[in-house]
Amino acid sequence: MLGYSSFLSESRFRINTLMSATSTAANDRTRLVIGNWKMHGNLSDNAALLAALRPAATTTQVAVCVPFPYLAQVAEALQGTAVSWGAQDVSTQVQGAYTGEISAPMLKDFGCRWVLVGHSERRSMHGESDQLVADKARAALAAGVTPVVCVGESLAERDAGQAIAVIHRQLAPVLALGADSVTKLVVAYEPVWAIGTGRTATPEQAQEVHAAIRAALQAVGAGNVQILYGGSVKASNAASLFSMPDIDGALVGGASLVADEFLRIAA
């Protein structure tokens, strides 16, 4: 794995070359759009939203990650459709005296294909460390659930020119899982300053970080992993973001609660 200083110089040097080199490889990566419902929903509202998503037919992979109590409802509603589903967090443990925790095998029981790990709200509100995020990713993979590993810098870190360094730090324990594991996960870049604020990184700003992430993944033999962008993604800006060679889709927050908007992002 690249050291700290070599990663920074390597990633900055390769950003321009990756723009062309990955444009061809990107054709092999299916676009993936995941809706993160966060702590929203009730049985009635969910039913209407899921009914609108059921007919979705697109070459894009489409999924929703929902609160734990609604996994059974979502599994029943989306079974046999093109839309898959997942959860928003997972325990590092398989079973035991861990009150309030949900294990990866439990998620698998409900047909979950995906689980978010390391979302900025988990990192900031629950003090989740980079190593804990990697441990959660490992636990999900062991149960056959794909972890979506979230990384991203704060506004202060970006303004200080530390964005790439922060991403490297967050990714390091995940990359240490090894190529066999890393090739089976998804990475989502969510600049903290663009989540729920209405601010969005320009396509070029997002691409710069995505290219650096791609370089880090390539360094461990996992360069074809899907990398999603998240942070105030809407139908109005999705196409310009997706035009970038290293942006393979989106992790969508508030817009995923509006079926028409969400489906237009995925179109």
Q: The CATH number of the domain where 215 resides is what?
A: 3.20.20.70
Asked if residues 114 and 85 have their Cβ atoms less than 8 Å apart, the reply is: yes
Nearest Cα to 153, choosing from 92, 194, 114, 110?
194
Tally of residues, the chain: 267
Angstrom CA distances, 129 to 74, 123, 153, stand at 30, 7, 14
Q: What is the mean pLDDT of residues 41-65?
A: 95
153, 190, 208, 261: which one is catalytic?
190
The string of pLDDT tens digits covering residues 125-139 is 999 999 999 999 999
For 66, the domain range is 4-266
Catalytically annotated residue among 119, 157, 208, 210: 119
Q: Does the predicted model carry a pTM greater than 0.85?
A: yes
Q: Is 119 a catalytic residue?
A: yes
| Beta strand residue intervals within 114-230, DSSP E | 114-117, 146-151, 186-189, 227-230
Taking the C-alpha atoms of residue 242 and residue 172, their distance in angstroms, rounded to an integer, is 26
Q: Which of 21-25, 88-92, 255-259 has the lowest mean pLDDT?
A: 21-25
CA distance 71 to 68: 6
As for how many domains the chain has, the answer is 1
Over residues 171-193, the pLDDT tens digits come to 999 999 999 999 999 999 999 98
Mean of all residue pLDDT scores within the chain: 91
